[in-house]
Structures are given as C-alpha cells and as structure tokens.
Amino acid sequence: MDSARRPADLPCSIAPFVPQSRGMCLLDNILAVDDDSLQAEVTPSAADLFATGAGIPGWVGLEWLAQAVAAWAGWHARSCNEPPAIGFLIGSKRFESLCEHLAIDRTYRVSIHLDFRADNGLGHFHGEILNDDGTRLAHGTLTVFQPPSDEQSEQTLDKEPSP
C-alpha cells in the first residue's frame, strides 16, 4: 500500500479501524499492515474485560485474532475513505492456545495473514499470538464473513440498545 493511501502512520491505535467500541476493543495498536497481513499488539491489564485473577484466559486469543482481522479490513476500508464495517467470525479451525492464561501487563504480538478472500464476502486467515520473546502462545485459522456494504445494518455497535 503506498503512503498516499495509508490511513495512518504506524504504529497507531487500533480503535479507529475496528467496529468494536468501549471495553470490547481488546487490542491496542497496529504495528504493521499490508495487502495480506497485519501485526498488532496488546498489553492486557487487570481492568480488561476478560481478566481474571490468573490472567487472560487463553481462549480469548481467538477473539484477539478475530479483532486483528477486523482491523486489517478496517485499515483497507479507511484507505478507500470508508468506515470500518461489521464482519462475522463464522468459524475457526485448529485454534490452539498453548497456555491456560496469558499474563497481565505483558505485551503480546497478534499476527494474521490472509489465505484467501472470495467475492461473496468470505475470507480465510491464519494467525498466531507471540509473547515478547517470540514464543508462540496460540495459533489457528479463522473463517470470516463481511456482508456487502449495501446490506449492512445502519446500526453501529456503539449505539445504546433501546429500552
């Protein structure tokens, strides 16, 4: 991606590139992004949504990977002057967390890579989570779906539900 179309200088906050808001945006920063991949980082704290006394459950890594995919799609949408769109995780395959809990206040690198994207909105990515010394802690593949922009709801995830 050339710098003329780049939506932001890197590293940058991930929040503007994902439809999640408030405490549901779990990742911190985008470190690198290109046509087929994205690298992000997260340093979870004790105040995080999924934090327990033992840390962040390893299965939350699946959501970290999904949000990295959302950030990748949001980055590319912004490069076309469009807002981040809502997408759906429709499946994962061979997701494996190699630890029961991820430590609080430690930085993790979340990387995803596009395997393929079909014209009907389906995409397939593989990803991994590494700790700060490069040890792989989780990995797996994700199948995602992003409906065409003309079919997406006008509601956003940050609107309050009606009473």
Candidate ranges 7-21, 77-91, 114-128, 145-159; pick with highest mean pLDDT: 114-128
- 118: closest CA among 154, 153, 144, 90? 144
How far apart (Å, rounded) are the C-alpha atoms in residues 56 and 66?
Answer: 16
The whole-model pTM stands at 0.88
Tens digits of residue pLDDT in 4-53:
567 889 999 999 999 887 778 999 999 999 999 999 999 999 999 999 99
Tens digits of residue pLDDT in 102-128:
999 999 999 999 999 999 999 999 999
- Residue 75 confidence (pLDDT) above 60: yes
- At 5 the pLDDT is 64
